[in-house]
Amino acid sequence: MLPFATESGRAAEPITALFTATSAVCVTGLVIEDTGTYWSGFGEAVILGLIQIGGFGIMTLASLLGLLVARRLRMRLQLSAQAETKTMGVGDVRRVVLGVLRISVLVELVVAVLLTWRFADGYGYGWGRATYLGVFHAVSAFNNAGFGLFPDSLMRFTTDPLICLPISAAVIIGGLGFPVLFELRRELRTPRKWSLHTKITVGMTVMLLAAGWVAISAAEWTNPDTMGPLSLGGKLLAGFVAAVMPRTAGFNSLDVGQMNDVTLLIHNVLMFIGGGSAGTAGGIKVTTFALLGFVMLAEIRGEPSVHALGRRLPAGVQRQALTIALLGVAAVASSTLALLALTPLKLDQVLFEVTSAFGTVGLSTGITADVGTAGHVILSVLMFIGRLGPITSVTALALRERTRRYERPEERPIVG
């Protein structure tokens, strides 16, 4: 709210400052005012710092919570750089924190260099401005924040693979989660040694990216306001970027407000699922979604236990996945109902905005500034819940797991 945080020199409205700060530290990307034109260099630096702190802090916290869960439950889990974590001493904490820091700096540095070169060589920016643009967008992309310094996000670079692909790569890497990145660093060439968590995360990420790419491209292929005027290569690139960003980055190379209802629904599904655990992405996480699929498959087959990729899933994990998914549905449904009651906006617009906030995505159909003060408060709370809720909820559920010394008489209600 400091006056020199804005270009005009006037203090930002409290709700604008609160919403922007929440969106940045929760690495979401929803904004009331355009980042590049409303905020001064100081304001942009504050936003960038919040993105880095929010992403790094949440990733580290999630990884340490994984270690804590492993310790309390005496489970063999590959949630850190070790294959087995039954204790969490100072060395474990140090390895997690330093590992997260090294990966963050490495990826952001590589992407920043590529973007800086492209901005300077391809678009005529001076090296100072190009470096600033490259660093800002690299940090925002790796942390899945979606904040950009251009009013149209990446729409001016829709057909430029040298801008879109490095940013997309940073989004995907950050969204995999650090437990997966640690393991891939050691066992990249031996997939058979991967833990179940890594297999599910990598497999679901590839499947959702491919399915989203095909579905969004097919839905928007002839839309004159999005992909219609593009060449074949431009359409394929734009479709790929559109499939990556709901995972949950928030950049857009196509006008989201001009997409058809089918595409918006596809985005809602991808945003709600999100990315990998203990990473920079939001949503209920791909592992949660996959576990529910394995549970459904076992029930359909009439099997007494749930198996996934050659491993049996504990009943507690199944209940946790179901709880996280239903809590997410409840948060999105209640917030959508509240915004519909408070604004004259349409259901598809409100549902998209709410799902984007819960999944900490940052994509919008253009209504963020129109939901009013009460709506901004609701979205701010939803971003906070969406960023921390799934992590803290599943950890609390895991740590509260205990053995019951007796059972009640069994009775089966009618299901379905």
* DSSP-assigned states of every residue in 349-373: HHHHHHHHHHTT----SS-GGGSHH
CA–CA separation, 63 vs 65, rounded Å? 5
185 phi/psi in degrees, rounded to 5? -65, -35
pLDDT at 89: 44
* DSSP helix/strand/coil, 39: strand
* Minimum mean pLDDT range among 16-20, 81-85, 377-381: 81-85
CA–CA separation, 146 vs 24, rounded Å? 9
Domain that holds residue 8: 3-399
Does position 354 have pLDDT exceeding 80, yes or no?
Answer: yes
Does position 9 have pLDDT exceeding 70, yes or no?
Answer: yes
**In a domain? residue 414:** no
Does position 255 have pLDDT exceeding 50, yes or no?
Answer: yes
**In a domain? residue 375:** yes
pLDDT at 63: 63
CA–CA separation, 270 vs 62, rounded Å? 22
| Percentage with pLDDT > 70 across the chain | 88
Count of beta carbons in the 10 Å neighbourhood of residue 397: 17
pLDDT at 226: 95
Q: Tell me, what amino acid is at 124?
A: G
Considering only CA atoms, which of 54, 81, 222 is closest in space to residue 140?
54
CA 71 to chain centre: 27
Q: Tens digits of per-residue pLDDT, 90-132?
A: 445 667 677 778 888 999 999 999 999 999 999 999 999 999 9
Distance set, CA 148 to CA 18, 209, 215, 319, 404 (Å): 18, 22, 26, 38, 51
CA–CA separation, 33 vs 17, rounded Å? 10
Long-range Cβ pairs for the range 307-315 (8 Å, 24+) = 308/196, 308/200, 309/196, 309/199, 309/200, 311/196
**In a domain? residue 410:** no
**In a domain? residue 409:** no
**In a domain? residue 260:** yes
Distance set, CA 27 to CA 72, 223, 317 (Å): 30, 30, 27
pLDDT at 84: 35
Mean pLDDT of the chain: 87
Residue 81's pLDDT band, with cuts at 50, 70 and 90, is: very low
pLDDT at 320: 84
Enumerate the β-bridge partners of residue 182: none
In eight-state DSSP terms, residue 359 is T
Mean pLDDT along residues 329-338: 95
**In a domain? residue 76:** yes
pLDDT at 74: 44
pLDDT at 395: 65
pLDDT at 67: 61
**In a domain? residue 136:** yes
Mean pLDDT along residues 137-149: 93
Helix (H) / strand (E) element for 395: namely helix 372-399
pLDDT at 65: 65
Residue 59's pLDDT band, with cuts at 50, 70 and 90, is: low
Quote the number of domains for the chain. 1
Does position 170 have pLDDT exceeding 70, yes or no?
Answer: yes
Which tops the pLDDT comparison, 130 or 250?
A: 130
**In a domain? residue 332:** yes
Helix pair angle (232-244, 196-220), 10° resolution? 130
Does position 85 have pLDDT exceeding 50, yes or no?
Answer: no
* Minimum mean pLDDT range among 220-229, 356-365, 404-413: 404-413
pLDDT at 388: 78
pLDDT at 76: 42
pLDDT at 103: 87
